[in-house]
Structure 1
Amino acid sequence: MDSLVSRGGFALVVLLLSAVVAGCASENNTPDESYHSTEVTMQNAGTTIGGTLTLPDRDGPFPAVVLIPGGGKQNRDEEFAQHKPFLVLADSLTKAGYAVLRTDDRGVGATTGDKSEASYDDLASDVLAQISYLRQRPDIDPTRIGVLGHSQGGSLAPLVAQKAPDEVAFVVLMAGPAQTGCAVLQHQMRVQLQATGTTSADRLAASDDAIRIECDLLRDGNFDEARKNAREANQQLPENERAPDEAIDLAINQEYASQATHDPEPALRSLRIPTLALFGSKDVQVDAAANEPLMRNFLSNNPKATVHTFEGANHLMQSADTGMPDEYVRIETTIDPAVLDYLKTWLNRMVRN
């Protein structure tokens, strides 16, 4: 078993995830007169958080949705490859009568700080600050504020609800994992190896072992050794497949360590509020076949939970052919309209009634 080559693959998956874990496609969305947008700022322990609040053009108070993006440094639209999924969500949900808050990540746009140095607790505290801001506004119903997280945001959303059960009214998870972060990484690395023609059981097992070692190092806070191992493994790859050492060092950071070592089970099991978990059957980043049954298990004691998989949808909730990340940009629609309709129907049933 060639574990060094597998560990080189781990270095590449780190870089891939930092680029595409929240990637999306483009779509023209011209806001109409049914709502208006307001630029807002709030504070959290020295961090200034900037974003956009969209509000229906009628009398409130309104139920509100706070959007939580995926991994890497995202702007308020979760923009990637000419696509803006959070703009699409805000447009659709605000037209349906909900206030929607979307913000820039730390170190992006109008938000200060550095997301790469933030733990999951830090990122959850940013969302809690956003909820506190909304609760102070007279045009927001403080009893009907919920969170919608995509990908990494789907791990953070249950943590936020667990930390503030009296302030979060509902949770929506879009491609949010139920597996541990390390198991998600192992699956993603296997997908990449298989896409390049690697089918050897020994090679795939070696990849799993290598990622487990890296996760253990990150769990122990041994970032230097994790970076060293990834750099050394990277040198075993063909020259045209190697990532720059500097890129590997930057990719293995506090945010990534939180993602790789996170276990979502405790926070998911704690939920007793309306919870919707959505998966795509062609998602190659958060595998529906593995995550859906786990999610159903972890939410089994929550009578207000719904778990649903969209056939043919990818990690971005687009209708896809292969589900692979290189396909995202070629798909014209940002979010499948069927997903948006399902989401709004569920919100209207669980939040407005």
Structure 2
Amino acid sequence: MNLNKKTISLFLLLISTSLCLFAQTKRPQEPKEPFDYVSENVVFENKVDHISLAGTLSYPKKGSNFPAVILISGSGPQDRNSELLKHKPFLVISDYLTNNGIAVLRVDDRETGESQGSYNDTGLDGFVNDTESAFQYLKSRKELNHSQIGLIGHSLGGVIAPIVASENEGVAFIVLLAGSGIRGDQLMLLQKELIERKAGVPEFGIAQGQNNMKGAYDLIIKSEDRVQLQGELKDYFTKVFGAMLPENQINTLSEQMSWPWLTDFIKFDPQTALSKTTCSVLALNGSNDLQVPPKENLAAIEKILHENGNKNVTVFELEKLNHLFQESETGLPNEYGTIEQTFSPQAMTIVLDWIKERTE
């Protein structure tokens, strides 16, 4: 974000408009109980980090030996439904897949819902451990086919899924929903540029913002100590934004940009994991995704996988879908809450058909 006065005002306007409108919007896709399948609240242990995680496992009432998936959420602490602006995309996806014969585990992130742990004190390794723990839990369930357990990751979850799959040969497949294929700092600069341009920020402001935030990301790339980084970021932001932001906002920004999961993400190159991922991969993005732009990321994901010998790769760019896989006009975040659709039926059908081709 370019923190000049014009952009701050625009940012606040977008948020306030969204908050006013989303409360008035229906969510017609949200399923209501009673469900025509088993929906079981579960708790399992992350034995590496010594915390318990809670979630919901759903599977058909009739039959057994079901293929299964674990849903992995995007950035920021989210509950098992991945609820945002009254949308519950993981509930919608889970309901759809379970009604079509696939078991689904969706989990409260650390420090959310009924799960333990601290989200913002956790690096990417912690989220990998959480997903691996969920995988091991599913292998303990007699209702499931233990050789057909896959991962579906959205956004940051699309970074975590290949890491887990590259380290665990038992993962049968992964689905990347707006997963990134370029290093975190490059992605965030590109995201920032596209959102600001779409929102009408002048080109000189966009260029200034790129330069300002690149300086902060460069500090993060070189950092090794969280406390030291926070101090360096505070000094940097005071120098760059001191005339426009009060000290408390600079302190907050410096603290947030020092969170381990965010600094890990900024430093992380998805090639590290994708180059070692040998299972089948489905990668989906929307053409209106301004947060994980499709052309740059889908091309990178496909190229990395193919160059390292994985030919079981399917890639789709879906027209008009935004970062949340809603049918959209602009793709701007202020649209998310005003759209009634929670998750594109077209995208869900593609995911279901692709999984069934590999599990039936």
TM-score category, normalised to shorter length? 0.7 to 0.9
Rounded to whole Å, the distance in 2 between the matches of 1:230 and 1:327 is 32
**3-state SS of paired residue (1:258):** helix
Q: How much does 1:97 deviate?
A: 0.3
Q: Match for 1:329 among 337, 344, 356?
A: 337
Equivalent residue runs for 1:257-268 within 5 Å? 257-268=263-274
8 Å CA contact 1:186–1:211 kept in 2: the answer is: no
Residue 310 to residue 5, structure 1, CA distance change in 2 (3 Å)? same
Q: Which amino acid aligns with 2:265?
A: Q
Residue in 2 that maps onto 1:30:
32
The answer to whether 1:178 aligns with 2:186 is no
Aligned match of 2:243 in 218, 236, 244? Answer: 236
Q: Which residue number in structure 2 is paired with residue 278 of structure 1?
A: 284
Q: 1:118 to 1:258 in 2, by over 3 A?
A: same
Shift of 1:247: 5.5
Shift of 1:236: 3.4
CA contact (8 A) 1:281 1:312 kept: yes
Q: Which sections of structure 2, spanning at least 5 residues, go unmatched?
A: 16-21
1:273 Cα offset (Å): 1.1
CA distance in 2, matches of 1:33, 1:287: 36
Match for residue 249 of structure 1 among 252, 255, 262: 255
User: Runs of 5+ in structure 1 lacking a partner?
Assistant: 17-22
Instruction: Report how many residues are paired.
Output: 337
The aligned amino acid for 1:29 is: P
Q: Deviations over 1:226-261 (max 9, x none)?
A: 44146414433367xx94633642453111111111
Measure the CA separation in 2 of the matches of 1:249 and 1:176: 26
Identify if the C-alpha distance between structure 1 residues 189 and 225 changes in structure 2 by more than 3 Å, giving closer, same or farther.
farther
Partner residue of 1:216? 221
CA 1:289/1:347 → structure 2, altered by over 3 Å: closer, same or farther? same
- Does 209-218 or 300-309 show the bigger shift? 209-218
Q: Is the 8 A contact 2:68 2:149 kept in 1?
A: yes
Q: 1:186 to 1:170 in 2, by over 3 A?
A: same
Q: Deviations over 1:146-178 (max 9, x none)?
A: 10000000000000111111x211100000000
Q: Deviations over 1:296-335 (max 9, x none)?
A: 1012121211111101110011111000101000110001
Pairwise CA RMSD: 2.8
SS in 2 for 1:34: coil
> For 1:76-104, what per-residue CA distance to the aligned partner results, in whole angstroms no more than 9, with x for missing partners?
00001000000011001101101100010
Q: CA deviation at 1:196?
A: 4.7
SS in 1 for 2:275: helix
Q: Deviations over 1:250-302 (max 9, x none)?
A: 45311111111111002112122111000111101001121121111012121
8 Å Cα contact 1:31/1:91 also seen in 2: no
Distance, in Å, in 2 between the alignment partners of 1:211 and 1:80 is 28
Where in structure 2 are the equivalents of 1:78-117 lying within 5 Å?
A: 78-117=82-121
**Kept in 2: contact 1:177–1:286 (CA 8 A):** yes
Structure 2 counterpart SS, 1:130: helix
Alpha carbons 1:33, 1:57 under 8 Å: kept: no
* TM-score, L = length of structure 1: 0.87
Deviation at 1:33, TM superposition (A): 4.7
Q: Deviations over 1:176-200 (max 9, x none)?
A: 0001101111112223443352202
For 2:126 and 2:118, the matched residues in 1 are separated by 11
Indicate the percent of aligned positions where both proteins have the same amino acid.
30
Q: Does 1:75 align with 2:79?
A: yes
| Partner SS state of residue 132, structure 1 | helix
Question: What TM-score does the superposition give when structure 2 sets the normalisation length?
Answer: 0.86
CA–CA distance in structure 1, aligned partners of residues 77 and 349 of structure 2: 28
